[in-house]
């Protein structure tokens, strides 16, 4: 086995796609594919399976990735005194809203502090899996109960009802019961990727959204345009001056959890990002909790 092939294997493992790994390595995709095939032939096992969204580790691939990450971590520890340890790529998976409205605006400060560290922020509906090596860090809505993961609560956060200023002035809402007469904005039930996103039933079981989207950013834009009333995280609703809170007595609380593969958590770049994000959440606790 050519040990240099392991570098290509790890790049694809962390990037999730051969094309993306090729860019990070500074080579073409054909070279990466050839290296992976050579490694698979030397081991006598298939390490990746091709899916629509890229390469996914097989069971053998996951076992090899654990050993390779441990080796990478050991090499990082050995070279820490002779070279800058915080370089490379850290991939972070977050919900669309938290990734867009909280993490992204603060990443410039992190990057300025760690100029040799690249951050891939995957912010969309759904999460990449640290168990399957799709991401280094996942910010999820519930604590993972299985898999080789290390998890911790990042922060609690609050959600409230919001409408545009013009809508609130034109159509005042005095009670929860009065909400039933207003167009509500929410998720498409068939596309709820986490049960924690089912907010309206918690307010009133008879409420259902008339305008629906799988995207929290689309829901925000509908509310900001005066289309109706939406349940939004306070770090979104309180950040937009065009929105106002509706029914101050309605407040929903949820939590964000950090999940990291146990073989990756000790890497300096992973520790640096986790420590920074925990500090950012602590510093902006009032915004997150809607206080």
Q: What are phi and psi of 34, to 5 degrees?
A: -60, -40
Which residues are 156's β-sheet partners? 255
Are 235 and 283 a contacting pair, CB within 8 Å?
Answer: no
pLDDT in tens, 55-103: 888 988 888 887 776 666 555 554 444 445 578 889 999 999 999 999 9
At a CB cut-off of 8 Å and minimum separation 6, what does 147 contact? 129, 130, 131
The Cα 195–Cα 192 span in angstroms is: 7
What is the per-residue pLDDT for 74?
A: 56
CATH number, residue 144: 3.40.190.290
What is the per-residue pLDDT for 159?
A: 97
Q: Residue 226 region, left (φ>0) first, then alpha (ψ -120 to 50), else beta? A: left
What is the per-residue pLDDT for 277?
A: 93
What is the per-residue pLDDT for 70?
A: 64
What is the per-residue pLDDT for 79?
A: 46
130 and 207 co-located in one domain: yes
Q: What 3-state class would DSSP assign to 190?
A: helix
The burial of 98, by beta-carbon neighbours within 10 Å (0-12 exposed, 13-18 middle, 19 or more buried), is given as buried
Are 230 and 167 a contacting pair, CB within 8 Å?
Answer: no
Q: What are phi and psi of 13, to 5 degrees?
A: -60, -45
Please identify, among 44, 66, 83, the residue that sits at the C-terminal boundary of a domain: 83
DSSP assignment of 219-240: HHHHHHTTS-EEEEEHHHHTT-
Please identify, among 83, 117, 149, the residue that sits at the C-terminal boundary of a domain: 83
How many domains does the chain fold into? Answer: 2
Are 18 and 29 a contacting pair, CB within 8 Å?
Answer: yes
What is the per-residue pLDDT for 247?
A: 94
78 and 163 co-located in one domain: no
108 and 196 co-located in one domain: yes
pTM of the model: 0.71
101 and 214 co-located in one domain: yes
Please identify, among 83, 103, 123, the residue that sits at the C-terminal boundary of a domain: 83
The residue range of the domain holding 45 is 1-83
CATH number, residue 7: 1.10.10.10
Are 133 and 14 a contacting pair, CB within 8 Å?
Answer: yes
The Cα 138–Cα 30 span in angstroms is: 30
Query: 276-279, long-range: CB within 8 Å, 24+ apart, which pairs?
Result: 276/110, 276/113, 277/103, 277/137, 277/139, 277/154, 278/154
25 and 113 co-located in one domain: no
147 and 268 co-located in one domain: yes
Secondary structure letter of residue 102 according to DSSP: I
58 and 2 co-located in one domain: yes
What is the per-residue pLDDT for 211?
A: 96
pLDDT < 50 positions in the chain:
78-83
What is the per-residue pLDDT for 83?
A: 46
């Amino acid at each position: 086995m050519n040990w240099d092939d392991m570098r290509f294997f790890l790049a694809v493992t962390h990037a999730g796609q051969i094309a993306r790994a090729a860019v990070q390595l500074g080579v073409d995709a054909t070279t990466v594919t050839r290296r992976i095939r050579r490694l698979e032939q030397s081991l006598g096992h298939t390490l990746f399976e091709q899916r629509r969204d890229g390469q996914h580790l097989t069971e053998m691939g996951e076992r090899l990735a654990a050993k390779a990450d441990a080796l990478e971590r050991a090499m990082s520890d050995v070279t820490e005194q002779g070279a800058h340890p915080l370089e490379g790529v850290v991939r972070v998976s977050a919900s669309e809203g938290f990734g867009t409205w909280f993490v992204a605006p603060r990443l410039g400060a992190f990057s300025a502090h760690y100029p040799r560290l690249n951050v891939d922020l995957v912010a969309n509906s759904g999460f990449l899996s640290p168990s399957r090596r799709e991401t280094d860090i996942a910010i999820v809505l519930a604590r993972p109960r299985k898999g080789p993961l290390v998890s911790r609560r990042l922060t609690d956060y609050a959600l409230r009802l919001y409408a545009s200023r013009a809508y609130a002035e034109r159509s005042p809402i005095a009670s929860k019961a009065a909400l039933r007469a207003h167009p509500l904005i929410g998720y498409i039930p068939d596309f709820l990727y986490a049960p924690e996103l089912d907010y309206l039933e918690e307010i009133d079981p008879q409420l259902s959204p008339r305008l629906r989207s799988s995207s929290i950013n689309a829901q925000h834009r509908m509310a900001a345009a005066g289309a109706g009333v939406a349940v939004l995280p306070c770090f979104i609703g309180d950040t937009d001056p065009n929105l106002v809170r509706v029914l101050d007595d309605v407040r929903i609380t949820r939590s964000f959890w950090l999940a990291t593969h146990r073989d990756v958590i000790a890497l300096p770049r992973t520790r640096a990002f986790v420590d920074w994000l925990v500090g950012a959440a602590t510093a902006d606790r009032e915004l997150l909790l809607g206080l």
